Amino acid sequence: MKSIGTELFAASLGARANPKVAYERLSARDLELRETWFRDAIFDNPEIVIGPCREAGRVDDAEVWMPWGIEKNFGAGPIDVLLVSSYGRVGLVETKLSYNPQKRREVVAQVLDYALSLQEKGRSALPDLPQSDDSPDEEDLVDAVSSGKFLLLIAGDSLDPRALRLSEALLARHLTNEWDLGMVDINLFRHADRPGEVILVPELLGLVRSDVRQVVRVQVEGQVAAARVTVERIAPDVSVQRGRKLESPDAYLHQVATVAPDTLETSRTLAAAFALRATSAPSRIQLDLETRTLNLYALLPGGRRARFLTLWPQGRVVVLFRYLTANGVLVERLKQVCRETTGATPGETRFELQMDAFSPEVLVELTNALCDAVEAHEIA
């Protein structure tokens, strides 16, 4: 049963509202619309499905989503709409109409299969990024695909929210993936006097957020207090999880020792500086790891965060401005810090430098100055 009325009213802003029915809600079957109509509408304007997620606080205000492909197949069947965000997250949209007899469980399982197949194929199977100023950094996209940062959406004209209960159980099988799955009902209202015109009113029926966990097995041998306790980490099936977030800064440094051993000591110094700044200002700055990188995030209102500094195991330091575009004064200050500390000119959305081109002292100075700027500004 829907929680939205069957009519939209037009009213006057004068002394009396005098509301009159202007639009009536109809189904896709009533309007003789096919799933391809919904697919193309979402591709033309992804905000149809992203907007409700953003209003619910599940998508950052500054995160721009772009159309990326239609009917892309990564081995589990064609994905109706493929989206990508300015943060590097990938969106998979499956359209289902009320008169499609497919069962709820099948619809949910289908979109999860799409995610699994994409994660297994990796970045090489995806198309080139859109030619847009909002396109993410290639490295952010690679990290997102590897760690499964997907927004999975089922969109239609009369969805059954009970499918969300099934999605919770199915997502629980993939605890090491960072998937979010939502259902967006697209209500269709036709004008009473203009039958060729419809209004689309998206409604978020619900969204299940991933709860990424490490899975361990605890085995107790013998009786207390002489018992022997063994803790064994259970690695996920590699056919399901192609990439995992690093578990600690030491794991990141292990990568550095393999990929760019000449920068290991500098990387160790910077990792310590990152940890110190995050510890000293936990309400403003957060340390976190991705599949290959060590990162500092500025904490934003509403529990959101924006990455502004990244260490790559190849010996690179990257300052990111694109995730703080809503904070223009802070972005300009960060760019000024980069210029003053290194003597180099930053780009519009990022500033990248090689560790071996600067002394560890300069890089630590840069880190501290950037963190000082983040802590000193009120971030929107």
Which of 33, 84, 82 lies closest to 63 in space, CA to CA?
Answer: 84
Structure confidence by residue, pLDDT tens digits, 4-28:
899 999 999 999 999 999 999 999 9
Distance CA 50, CA 340 (A): 39
High-pLDDT (> 90) share of the chain, %? 54
Q: What residue type is assigned to position 248 of the chain?
A: S
Q: What ranges do the domains of the chain cover?
A: 7-209, 249-376
pLDDT score recorded for residue 164: 59
- 219: pLDDT strictly greater than 80: no
pTM: 0.72
* Contact in structure between 53 and 151 (CB atoms under 8 Å): yes
β partners of residue 312: 316
**Mean local confidence (pLDDT), 275-292:** 92
Q: Are strands 216-221 and 198-209 parallel, antiparallel or unpaired?
A: unpaired
- The answer, yes or no, to whether the previous bond of 272 is cis (omega within 30 of 0) is no
Which of 362, 333, 361, 363 lies closest to 346 in space, CA to CA?
Answer: 333
Distance (Å) of CA 66 to CA 89, 173, 261, 305 = 11, 29, 38, 21
pLDDT score recorded for residue 192: 84
Tell me which of 21-35, 52-66, 232-246 is least confident. Answer: 232-246
β partners of residue 310: 295, 318
| Orientation angle between helical segments 264-280 and 360-376, nearest 10 degrees | 20
Backbone angles phi, psi at 297, to 5 degrees: -120, 140
The single-letter DSSP state of residue 125 is G
Distance of CA 304 to the CA centre of its chain: 11
Structure confidence by residue, pLDDT tens digits, 22-49:
999 999 999 999 999 999 999 999 999 9
Q: Which tokens hold the place of 111?
A: 């979109």
